[in-house]
Amino acid sequence: MADDCTYNDLPMYGGQNAKTPNLEKLAREGMTFDRAFLAEAICQPCRAELYSGLYPMGNGCNWNHSASRGDIESMPQHLGREGYRVGLAGKVHVSPRKAFPFEIVDGCDKNCVRNPTREMKLDSIAEFINRSNERFCLVVALVEPHVPWVMGDASAYPPDELKLPPNIGDTQETREAFSRYLAEITYMDQQFGQIMEVLEESGKSNDTVVIFTSEQGSQFPGNKWTNYNTGVHTGLIMRWPRGIPVNTRSDALVQYADVLPTMIDLSGSVSLDQPKFDGNSFGQVCRGEVSAHREYAYGTHNNVPEGPPYPIRSITDGRYHYIRNLQNENLYIEKHLMGIKGNGELNNKYWQTWVFECFDQPELLRLIQRYQLRPKEELYDIANDPYEMTNLIEQEELVEVRKRLSNELDRWLQSQGDPGVPQDTPESLKAAKQGRHRFGNHP
């Protein structure tokens, strides 16, 4: 698992800069999912969804640095019942431990803000894989390319030679930051390659399902902390020599809540007492038996505690992406990105250059306005406009698409007991951090 890596900055998703030979090898040996999404583009909520198979409202983690409910179960319990040892190396960032009782495996940095990042040690990972002949599940949660961007060789990415994505402003500071970010992607890829070598040396490679995910988008405006496609769209690659066709791509729409049910499915479980998840297994897609999975993927965002409340809800059918900004009369403010908190001198100084230089560059001003001044509704054709630069909400020929997505989003919000505009009082945020919050249809 990468940390804050925008999916289409990777070569297998069209990225034109990053060098990732190990991930590209994985894609050739397995299946690449072109339409995989997570419900919330924030570190802790998206991990809670991935590990529990429950949407944010279902597991209770709706804000960053908040706890899930203590009465839920996650990967260690579900796979433990199937006879697996379940460990986690690296960044944990989910709580409480009662809900996520992973065996903690040493060797990877657990702190994404360390400068420099602790170098990975493979001994503990190798020991966990080779400890016995019991089945194992190991999550390796790396901290790259999360800020600070300090690892890897940035000289391999000369700033002036880069092709920036259209949703990122073109200033010299931005180019230098993007260079450091790309270096961390390559560093992450090297770490992944080392882990795969350990697996190969164990002799268990052919019997092991390998899953890579890029997590949410990077810490550039319009990616992480948003419901835009480059925030909630994730890279997902799966390899299993005994079950997944090699060098294939899938258009099946899948979501993080589907991953744990899929893992249980691929484990060969025949239990009649299947746990209740918000997601469903896409194991048949993995095995090449069907080409489609879910009809819609859903998204949510509240912005707390990363900035003032700014509730957003969204839905995609894989082609069109509908976004609803529930308090669009407010400015969108994100404290880390804008340098209000954090190491802005090293990582986020580029945002100030957008502001300073927008007087002479209309495109910079447009990007600032896109980020901070949002319409009530947005609709994008992400198949042809993955960076969502053209809002189609007023297009008459898409009225039925908008209605269909809006109605389904309403249905999902009601099913989740989503309050919409949250009342984020100090008391409710304290309760969230302790996993004591209660919402609508979730006890």
Domain termination residue (choose one: 242, 276, 292): 292
Across the strands, what pairs with 248?
31
Average pLDDT over residues 409-431: 75
Q: What is the pLDDT of residue 397?
A: 98
How does DSSP assign 238-253, residue by residue?
A: EE-TTTS-SSEEEEEE
The radius of gyration of the chain's CA atoms, rounded to the nearest angstrom, is: 21
Q: Are residues 288 and 337 in the same domain?
A: no
Sign of the dihedral defined by the CA atoms of residues 369, 371, 375, 377, in that order: positive
207 backbone φψ class: left, alpha, beta (φ>0; ψ -120 to 50): alpha
Bond preceding residue 145 cis, omega within 30 of 0: yes
Q: What is the pLDDT of residue 269?
A: 80
Q: What is the pLDDT of residue 341?
A: 47
For all residues of the chain together, what is the average pLDDT? 92
Q: What contacts 368, CB < 8 A, 6 or more positions away? A: 169, 221, 354, 355, 358
Lowest mean pLDDT, pick from 171-185, 217-231, 260-274, 333-347: 333-347
Residue 254's SS3 state is strand
> In which band, very low, low, confident or very high, does the pLDDT at 344 lie, cut at 50, 70 and 90?
very low
Distance of CA 322 to the CA centre of its chain: 18
Average pLDDT over residues 197-203: 98
Q: Are residues 176 and 318 in the same domain?
A: no
CB burial string 154-187: b at 16+ within 10 A, e below: beebebeebebbebbbbbebbbbbbbbbbbbbbb
Average pLDDT over residues 248-264: 98
Phi, psi of 231 (to 5 degrees): -100, -50
Domain termination residue (choose one: 292, 314, 342): 292
Which tokens belong to 323? 């976004």
In a domain, 439, yes or no: no
Q: What is the pLDDT of residue 425?
A: 53
Per-residue pLDDT reduced to its tens digit, 87-132: 999 999 999 999 999 999 999 999 988 888 898 999 999 999 999 9
- Which of 398, 283, 383 is closest to 35 using CA atoms? 383
pLDDT at 340 over 90: no
Average pLDDT over residues 380-396: 98
Lowest mean pLDDT, pick from 211-215, 382-386, 427-431: 427-431
Per-residue pLDDT reduced to its tens digit, 160-197: 999 999 999 999 999 999 999 999 999 999 999 999 99
In a domain, 443, yes or no: no
- Rounded to two decimals, the pTM is 0.94
> In which band, very low, low, confident or very high, does the pLDDT at 433 lie, cut at 50, 70 and 90?
low
CATH number at residue 169: 3.40.720.10
Q: Are residues 18 and 121 in the same domain?
A: yes
Average pLDDT over residues 327-331: 95
Domain termination residue (choose one: 249, 270, 292): 292
Q: Are residues 168 and 307 in the same domain?
A: no
Lowest mean pLDDT, pick from 62-76, 271-285, 347-361, 423-437: 423-437
Q: Are residues 311 and 241 in the same domain?
A: no
Q: What is the pLDDT of residue 339?
A: 67
In a domain, 440, yes or no: no
Q: Are residues 270 and 337 in the same domain?
A: no
- Which of 347, 373, 422, 376 is closest to 63 using CA atoms? 422
Q: What is the pLDDT of residue 343?
A: 46
Q: Are residues 90 and 27 in the same domain?
A: yes
pLDDT above 70 covers a percentage of the chain that reads: 92
pLDDT above 90 covers a percentage of the chain that reads: 84
Instruction: Work out the angle at residue 299's Cα, subtended by the Cα atoms of residues 189 and 426, and round it to the nearest 5 degrees.
Output: 100
Q: What is the pLDDT of residue 63?
A: 85
Give me the domain span that covers residue 140. 7-292
In a domain, 2, yes or no: no
193 backbone φψ class: left, alpha, beta (φ>0; ψ -120 to 50): alpha
CB 73 within 8 A of CB 122: no
Q: What is the pLDDT of residue 65?
A: 83
Q: Are residues 100 and 224 in the same domain?
A: yes
Average pLDDT over residues 335-347: 60
Instruction: Work out the angle at residue 179's Cα, subtended by the Cα atoms of residues 175 and 180, and round it to the nearest 5 degrees.
Output: 120
Q: Are residues 264 and 145 in the same domain?
A: yes
pLDDT at 422 over 70: no
> In which band, very low, low, confident or very high, does the pLDDT at 419 lie, cut at 50, 70 and 90?
confident
Alpha carbon distance 349, 116 (integer Å): 19
Per-residue pLDDT reduced to its tens digit, 43-52: 999 999 999 9
CB 46 within 8 A of CB 64: no
Treating both helix axes as pointing N-terminal to C-terminal, what angle do 172-202 and 349-357 enclose, rounded to 10 degrees?
150
- Which of 377, 296, 368 is closest to 338 using CA atoms? 368
In a domain, 49, yes or no: yes
Domain count, the chain: 2
In a domain, 441, yes or no: no
Average pLDDT over residues 16-28: 97
Q: Are residues 194 and 255 in the same domain?
A: yes
CB 4 within 8 A of CB 217: yes
Instruction: Work out the angle at residue 236's Cα, subtended by the Cα atoms of residues 55 and 222, and round it to the nearest 5 degrees.
Output: 70
In a domain, 421, yes or no: yes
In a domain, 406, yes or no: yes
Q: What is the pLDDT of residue 167?
A: 97
> In which band, very low, low, confident or very high, does the pLDDT at 346 lie, cut at 50, 70 and 90?
very low
Q: Are residues 287 and 316 in the same domain?
A: no
Alpha carbon distance 82, 94 (integer Å): 22
Q: Are residues 26 and 140 in the same domain?
A: yes
